[in-house]
Structure 1
Amino acid sequence: MSGLCGWLGYGHSVTENLALLRQMASPLVRFDSCKLHACASGNSALATAASDGRAHIYQRDGLLAALWGRGNFLEPRLDEQAQREGMAKTLAENWRGRSGGDGRGAKIFESLSGAFACCIVDENANEVVLATDRMGTYPLSYQALAGGLVFASSSDAIRLHPSIRSEIDLQSLYNYVYFHMVPSPDTIYEGQKRLMPGEYLVYSKGGIKTEKYWLMRFQEDERHPFQELKQEFLEVLHSSVRTAIGDDETGAFLSGGTDSSTIAGILGEVSGQPARTYSIGFDATGYDEMGYARIAARHFGTRHQEYYVTPENIVSAIPQVAAVFDQPFGNSSALPAYYCAQMAKSDGLSRMLGGDGGDELFGGNVRYAKQHIFSLYEQTPLLLRKGLIEPVVFGLPGGGALPLIRKARSYVEQASIPMPARTETYNLLERYGRDAIFTPEFLDAVNPGYPARLLDETYHENDAKSLINQMLAFDRKFTLADNDLPKVAKACELAGMDVAFPLISDEIVAFSLRLEPHLKLKGTKLRYFFKEALRGFLPDDIIAKQKHGFGLPFGVWLQTHKNLQDLAWDSLSDLKSRNIIRGDFIEKLLQQHLEEHAGYHGTMVWVLMMLEQWYRQRQDSRSAMHSQA
C-alpha cells in the first residue's frame, strides 16, 4: 500500500529535511520496492510512495502537495487540468485559489472521487490541509508539534519524527479491548489523531479544525423499476471492477460468499480471461468454507488456487501480522487474508480485489436482521407492552424455569435497549465485566463510558429515516474504515501486494444510497436486491448460503496445538507485567474459560495476545520513547 508523510513547522536545511523524510518513510516502503517521491524546503517536507500512477507530488513557491491513491476529479474543468498538469498541482492550486469564504476546501474535496489520501502544505500561509476518501480506504494520522503539524498514513512514520513523543494512550488501550481495534478518530498514541471517512483537516496559525466534506445521504423515497435498477447495478459493477484493475496484474480473494464470488465473476468478464482467484481453508469442523469457493470457481471458470492454513502457519505469522499494523489490531481474519495475498504474490500478481463493503452497502450482516426483529417490539403500542406483555413475561411465577418465557424475557430485555447500545449486548468486555478484566489502577485512568459515547455519536450523525440505513451508515465507520479495510490492506501490504475494493467505489456507493430500504433488508431477508439482481449470474448455492467468512479456528486449535499454546501463554504472561489486564483474569481465561467454550473465549485470548505482540514488535513504546528523549 505504501503511503505518504510530511510536516510543517520543523526543519533545517533542505538536505537534512530530505534525509529525515526518508527515515520517516521507511515504514511505508518496508514490504515493497515503491519509489519514494519527496520534496522539501527549510520548514516543511512531504513525501509519497506508491506504484506508478498512485503517487502524485508537487512543489512550487512554498506550496507543497501530494496525493496517494487513485483519485480523480468529478468536475470537468478540474479533471482536464489534472490530466494536463497533474493531480497534486491541480489540488494545491485550486485549494489556494478557493481560500476565504464559507465552505472553504469542501468543494475541492467533494469533487475528488476514488480511494485516496492527500495533503497540501502552504508555507506562506503556515497552513496544512489533509483529507481522506469517502469510505476511509486510505488512512491518514496527524499530531501537532510546537508551531506545526506532523502527518503520515502510518503512526509508525509519525513516531520517527524527532519532535514527536509517543506515549501510549491508556484510553485507546481500553477502546482496543472493547472494539478489538482502536477506532478513529483516536490512535494508540496520546495527542495523535486519525481522519475519519470523508473528512478533511485544516491546520492554520496553530489551530486544528476538522470538517466532513461528505456524509452518506440516503434518498429513501426514490422509486425505480426493479429491472431498471438491475441493469444500472450491473453496469456500475463492471465499471467499478474495470477501474479497480487498472493496468495491474490482478487477482481476487474468493471466500465463496456473495461478495467475493461476484467480484470473481465480474473480473473474468471485464478482463476477458479467467480470473485468478485465491481461497483459504481450515481443517476444522464448522470453519472451512472451501466447498463454496470451489463452487464459485467452477461456475466462473477461474484459475483457482487454494491453501489450507495450519496452526503452525498461525504461530509463524502472528509476529509479522502484529508488526505490520501501526495500531493494536485484534481481527484474526487478517492472517488468512495474508496467506491469500501471499499466494497471489507468488503467482506474479501485483494487486488483489477484495469484496469488502457489500454487506455494509446492501444490508448483508446478520445483525441487521436481528435488529429488525428487535425493532418490531419498539413499534408495539406502549400500552400493550407495559400493560400486558411485560407484566406477563416478567411477573409469571416460576416463569424463569419455562424455556418459552426465558426466551421472551431475553427478547424484551434486548429490545428495550435503545440503538446503538443494543448492538453491543454480546460485547466480550461487557460480558466479562470491566472490573474482572482490567486492573483497578488502569480503570482509574480511563473513561469506561467513552466507547458507548463514540458509538452513540456516530449512530446519530446520520439523518436516515430507516433502521437499516442508520446501521449501514454506522458500519461505514466501525466495520469498514476501522476494521475490515485495514485488515485486508495491511495483510496485503505484508505480502507486498496492492489491494482495491470495487464494491465501495463512489459510483456503487451512490447507487446504494438510492435504493429503497426494503430492497436492502426485506423483513429478515438480507441484501434482497443484491441477490435478486445477481440471480442467474451467481450460482444458486452461493445466493442461498449462510454468511460465514474467513473466521480463524484459533480457540479450537489452541486446545491441542502445543506451539500455539506456548505462544499464547507466553504472550499473556508478559502482558500481566504491563498492569493493564488483571493476572487472575488471564489465569481464569486460560485455565477455565477455554475449557468451557474454546471458540467463544478464544477470541479474548487472541485480542490480548495480539496486544502483547504489538507491544513486542515496537520494543515497548514507552521504553523506546524514553530512550529517544
Structure 2
Amino acid sequence: MSGFCGWIGGPAVPDARGSLHSMLDALPEPTDMIRQAFAGAAGAVGCAVHAAAGGFRAADGLAAVWDGSPWWRDEDLAATARAHGHAAALLDGWRRHGAGVLERLAGHVSVAVVDPATGRALAAIDRAGVQSLAYAETPGGGVVFGGTVDAVAAHPAVAADGLSPQAFHDYLYFVDRVPAPETIRPGVRKLVPGECLVHEAGRTRVTRYWTMPYAPDRAADEAALAGRLRSTLGAAVRRAVADEAPQRVGAFLSGGLDSSTVAGLLADAVDGDRPARAFTIGFEDAAYDESAYARITAEHFGLDHDVTTVRPADVAAVFDAVATAYDEPFGNSSAVPALLCAQRARAAGVDLLLAGDGGDELFAGNARYLKDRVFQRYTRIPGVLRKALIEPVAGRLSRDSHVTLFRKTARYVAQARLPMPVRVTREGLLSHLPAEAVLAPELLAEVDRTAPERLVTDIWDAAETQSDLMRFMALDLRLTLADGDLRKVGRMCAMAGVRVRYPMLDDDVMAFSATLPPELLCKGGRLRGFYKDAFAGVLPRAILDKPKHGFGLPYLEFLRTDPALNAMAREAIDDLKRENLFRPAFLDAEVKALAAPEAQGDGALSIAWDLVTLHRWLARRRDRPAGVRAPVAGAAE
C-alpha cells in the first residue's frame, strides 16, 4: 500500500488540513516516518512514509509525493532526482510531459501530483502492483485517493459506510482476497497494476499506462537468452540494494527456486566484510518444512543464515494483529510466517529484505499451467460425441459418489466444460458449496454471482498475446501476485518495520520475460524448464531438482492438534452469526467440523482460517474508535 493520500476538486472542505490529517491517520505508520502535507480548498496531498522510501515536495502551487523505490529512464529527470530528490523530478516531469511522466518512471513506486490552480491531478501505481492505491469519486466532479481504503473513506465527502455485498461475495470466491478494482467499501475502487488516475476539467478517468508487452522472440538463441536472464536478474538485485548498508540488507530464503536465486545474487552483490544475510521460517511438520533446502542454498552461497521454527503458540501470539492489519479482509495464512520472518530480520538489525515473489508468474512455475492440459484434451473430442454421449452420461453420475471412478468422471467433465479461465479460478469456498448454502439471503440478493467470472475473463482477454500459457501468467500476475502475495509480504514487512523489494519484478526483468517463447518456458514439459537450465551450475542441483512446494503455514494441522487455536476458531466462527452475513447452518457445520477435527478431511476445515480472519477484521473495525490505528504485532494495545 502507498503511504500518501489526497484529493482534487469536489465539494469545498471547510477544514482541509484537518481532513487531510484524518486521512493520514488512517494510513499505517511506518518506522522512521516523515509526515508532510499540502492542503488548500481545491486540492490536497500528504504523506506518511518511511524516510528512505518516500518523499514530498511542494513548489509553485503544485505538490508531488512518492512512495517506494523509483528510478528514472529519462536522463534529465534522473539527474534532477539525484540533485533534488524524486519528488522534484516528478514535478519537473509533470510540467514537461503531463501523465507521460509515467513512461519515463520505473521501479516499484506509487506517485501523485496535485495542481489545484489548474484543477489537474495524477496518481498511479507501478507496473507490477507492488504498491496499491484506492480512490473514490465525489459529488461535484472531485476525486479522493489514498494508500488504503480506510484513508479514502476518512474523507468527509466519501460515503463508504458498511461492506460491499459484492466484494464480500468475491472475497469468498477468490479464496482470501478482494480483487482489484473493487474494494470492500461501496463506492471505493483500487487501481490495478500499470494503471493511473488522471483528473482534469472536473472529470476523472482511469487508464492503463502500461501492459505486459508479450512479444516472444523465437529467433533468439537459447544460450544467449539464458545469459540475458542471469545478467538482467543480477542487475535487478544490484539495483535493489544500491546505496544500502550491506549489514542492513537480507533476503527471505524459503528454500525454493526464486528465493534461492535472489539470495545467491545478493551474495554476489553485497560488498563488505560480512556475508550476505538470509532468513528462513521452518515448521515441525515435514510436509511444510523446506528449511533443509534453505540450508543447502545458504551453504552453497556462504550466507549468514538464520532459521526460526514456527509453532502454534507463535501463530496465536500474532493472529489478531495479522488479521486486522489490512484495510480489507485478507485471509492468506502465510502472512503469519512472513511477519515472523520479517520480525526476526528486524531484530537482527536488518531493515531491507529482498523477496523472490514473481518468478512463477513470469517464468511459468505454477502447477496448473501444465495441469490444465488434461482438461484441454477434453475440448479436442468432437463436439457431437461430447454432447450426445459423454456429458449426458456424466450428468447422471454424482460428483459425491462413493464409487471413485464415477466421482472422478463427473468432476472431470464438469470442470472441463467450464470456459477458460473460469475453470482455473474456481478454487474457493463457492466452487464447492452453492452460495445459497453459505450466504445470508439478504446479502445474496444484492450480489451478481457472475461478476468474478467476468473479471477473470476480462483479464484473460486483455492479455496482449495469443498464448494460453502467457494468458495464464497474466492472470496470475493480477490475481495471485498483485492482489495476494504482494499485499501479504508488503504489509507484514511494514508491520515489522522492514522495507521489502522484489528483484524478480524489476521492470527490466518483467520486460525480458515477455520476450521468452512459451514453448521455451516449459521446455521439455517441465515447469520453469528454461529458467532451471539457465541457472544450472549457479544454483545447487538439489534446488533445481526439488518439486515445487510453495510458502505456506500448516494451519490445518495446527487447528487439528492445538487446543487453544481450535477453541479460538470455534468461538470466532460461532460469533460470526451476529454479523448476518452467513447462513447459521453453514457456520454451525464449520464449528462442528472443528469440534472433531481428526475425523475431517482438509476440505471441511480449509475455510476455517478465512472465517476466523474475517471475524477478527470485522470485530476490530466495529470496536475500534475513529482515529485509533490497527495494532502493531508484539506491541501492547
2:166 paired residue among 168, 171, 180:
171
- Corresponding residue SS for 1:30: coil
Give the drift of 1:291. Answer: 1.7
Please state if 1:420 is matched with 2:421. yes
For residue 309 of structure 1, what is the aligned residue in structure 2?
A: 310
Indicate the residue corresponding to 1:211 in structure 2: 207
Equivalent of residue 104 in structure 2, options 107, 111, 116: 111
Trace 1:135-174 onto structure 2 (pairs within 5 A): 135-147=128-140, 148-167=142-161, 168-174=163-169
Q: Give the Cα separation in 1 of the matches to 2:479 and 2:584.
A: 30
Counterpart contact for 1:35–1:49, Cα < 8 Å: yes
Q: Give the Cα separation in 2 of the matches to 1:598 and 1:312.
A: 23
With 520-529 and 186-195 compared, the bigger mean Cα shift is at 520-529
The Cα shift of 1:229 comes to: 1.0
Q: Deviation of residue 11 (structure 1)?
A: 6.4
Partner amino acid, structure 2, of 1:150: V
CA contact (8 A) 1:41 1:62 kept: no
Aligned residue type for 2:372 = Q
Aligned-residue offset at 1:187: 1.1
Name the CA shift for 1:325/1:263 in 2 (closer, same or farther; >3 Å): same
Confirm whether residue 472 of structure 1 aligns to residue 473 of structure 2. Answer: yes
Task: Please give the secondary structure, in 2, of the residue aligned with 1:115.
Answer: strand
Tell me the equivalent position of 2:617. 614
User: Partners in 1 of 2:422 and 2:524 — Cα distance?
Assistant: 22
CA 1:581–1:211: 2 relative to 1, 3 Å: same
1:602 equivalent in alignment to 2:605: yes
Q: 1:601 to 1:242 in 2, by over 3 A?
A: farther
Output one character per residue of 1:55-84: Cα deviation in whole Å (capped at 9) or x when no partner: 232222332211212222213333334434
Question: Equivalent pairs: percent with the same residue?
Answer: 38
| Superposed displacement of residue 306, structure 1 | 1.3
Residues 476-523 of structure 1 show CA distances to partners (whole Å, capped at 9, x for unaligned) of: 110111000010001111111110111010011011000010122236
Question: What CA distance in whole angstroms lies between the structure 1 residues aligned with 2:582 and 2:164?
Answer: 15
The equivalences for 1:117-266 within 5 A come to 117-147=110-140, 148-167=142-161, 168-179=163-174, 180-248=176-244, 249-266=248-265
Task: Report the equivalent of 1:358.
Answer: 359
Q: Distance in 2 between matches of 1:162 and 1:389?
A: 59
For residues 115-152 of structure 1, give each alpha carbon's deviation from its aligned partner in whole angstroms, at most 9, with x where no partner exists: 11111111122222111100111111112233432211
Q: Per-residue CA shift, 1:162-198, capped at 9, x if unaligned? A: 3333322111111111111110011111111111000
CA distance in 2, matches of 1:91, 1:588: 55
Paired residue secondary structure (2:31): coil
Q: C-alpha offsets along residues 314-352 of structure 1, whole Å, 9 cap, x if unaligned?
A: 112111012221111010000000000000000011011
Q: How does 1:397-416 map to 2 (within 5 A)?
A: 407=408, 410-416=411-417
Q: 1-side partners of 2:464 and 2:381: how far apart?
A: 23
Q: What 5-or-longer segments of structure 1 have no aligned partner? A: 100-104
2:382 & 2:574 partners in 1: Cα distance? 53
Residue pair 1:556, 1:598 contacting (<8 A) in 2 also: no
Report what 1:48 is aligned to: 47
CA distance in 1, matches of 2:403, 2:143: 62
Q: CA separation in 1, counterparts of 2:619 and 2:394?
A: 51
C-alpha separation in 1, matches of 2:19 and 2:396 = 70
Is this contact kept in 2: 1:372–1:523, CA < 8 A?
Answer: no
AA aligned to 1:33 is: D
Q: Which residue in 1 is equivalent to 2:275? A: 274
What corresponds to 2:90 in structure 1? 91
* Matches for 1:543-554 after TM superposition, within 5 Å: 543-554=544-555
Alignment map for 1:439-518 (pairs within 5 Å): 439-518=440-519
- Aligned AA for 1:154? T
What is the alpha-carbon distance in structure 2 between the residues aligned to residue 23 and residue 624 of structure 1? 9
* AA at the equivalent of 2:8: L
1:534 is displaced (CA, Å) by 0.7
Conserved 8 A contact 2:30-2:49: no
Please state how far the C-alpha of 1:553 moved relative to its aligned partner: 1.5
Whether the 8 Å CA contact 2:326–2:491 is kept in 1: the answer is: yes
Deviations 1:353-374 (A, max 9, x none): 1110000000001111111332
Q: Residue 8 of structure 1 contacts residue 45 of structure 1 at CA under 8 Å; is this kept in 2?
A: yes
Question: Could you tell me how far apart the structure 1 residues matched to 2:280 and 2:603 are?
Answer: 25
- Counterpart secondary structure, 2:155: coil
Range with bigger deviation, 336-345 or 435-444: 435-444
Q: Quick one: structure 1 residues 341 and 11, their matched pair in 2 at CA, closer, same or farther if it must change by over 3 Å? A: farther
In 2, distance between residues paired with 1:438 and 1:624? Answer: 29
CA distance in 2, matches of 1:7, 1:401: 59
Checking the alignment, whether the CA contact within 8 Å between 1:3 and 1:49 is kept in structure 2 is yes
Distance 1:339 1:208 in 2: 41
Contact 2:237 2:269 in 1 (8 A): yes
Contact 2:43 2:116 in 1 (8 A): yes
* CA shift in 2, pair 1:598/1:552, >3 Å: farther
Q: Secondary structure at the match of 2:282?
A: strand
Change beyond 3 A, Cα 1:541–1:407: same
Distance in 1 separating the partners of 2:181 and 2:239: 29
Q: After superposition, what is the alpha-carbon deviation per residue over 1:509-540, rounded to whole angstroms, capped at 9, x for unaligned?
A: 01100001012223641011111111111111
Cα 1:597–1:507 shift into 2, 3 Å: farther
Structure 2 residue 432 is the aligned partner of structure 1 residue 431 = yes
Give the letter for the 2:147 counterpart. S
Tell me if structure 2 keeps the 8 A contact 1:121–1:129: yes
| Native 8 Å contact 1:57 1:64 kept in 2 | yes
Match of 1:102 in 2: none
Once residues 339 and 65 of structure 1 are traced to their aligned partners in structure 2, the CA distance between those partners, rounded to angstroms, is 34
> Could you tell me how far 1:29 is from its partner in structure 2?
4.8
- TM superposition score normalised by structure 2: 0.90
Whole-Å separation in 1 of the counterparts to 2:593 and 2:83: 66
- TM-score, length-normalised on structure 1? 0.91
Distance across 2 between alignment mates of 1:408 and 1:608: 31
Alignment of 1:307-346 (within 5 A): 307-346=308-347
**Aligned pair in 2 of structure 1 residues 439, 407: CA closer, same or farther (>3 Å)?**
closer
Gap runs ≥5 in structure 2: 628-637
Query: Structure 1 stretch 596-605 or stretch 320-329: which is displaced more?
Result: 596-605
Are the equivalent residues in 1 in contact too, given 2:16–2:44 (CA < 8 A)? yes
Q: Which amino acid aligns with 1:344?
A: A
- Partner of 2:154, secondary structure, is coil
Deviations 1:274-328 (A, max 9, x none): 2211111222242222222222122222111111111111112111012221111
Preserved CA contact (<8 Å) 2:172 2:428: no
